[in-house]
Amino acid sequence: MRKLIIGLLCLAGLAVVIDFGAAAYSEYHVSRQLRAGADLSADPEVTFHGFPFAAQAMSGRYDEVTIRA
């Protein structure tokens, strides 16, 4: 029983790490696209707020997005 609980906790932790990694990857790519599209001299700061990011990305609706140029 202990191994099952430890395995589930590790799986949940991995899911959280993957979700934050996907958010960071998306923030980077949106930032690069905004820089190229708006002809900016530096990458703007893009932040997707809310958890889980994967659920927001699949629905196509984001709770809050902050962009600073």
Domain ranges of the chain: 2-68
Distance CA 62, CA 65 (A): 7
In sequence order, the 6+-apart residues with CB closer than 8 A to the CB of 25 are: none
Contact 19, 53 (CB under 8 A): yes
Joined tokens for residue 24: 């960071």
Going by the DSSP 8-state scheme, the letter that residue 16 receives in this structure is H
In the prediction, which pLDDT does 69 show?
A: 84
Residues 12-45: pLDDT tens digits?
A: 999 999 999 999 999 999 999 999 999 899 999 9
How many Cα neighbours within 13 Å face the side chain of 20?
5
Q: Give residue 63's pLDDT band: very low, low, confident or very high (50, 70, 90).
A: confident
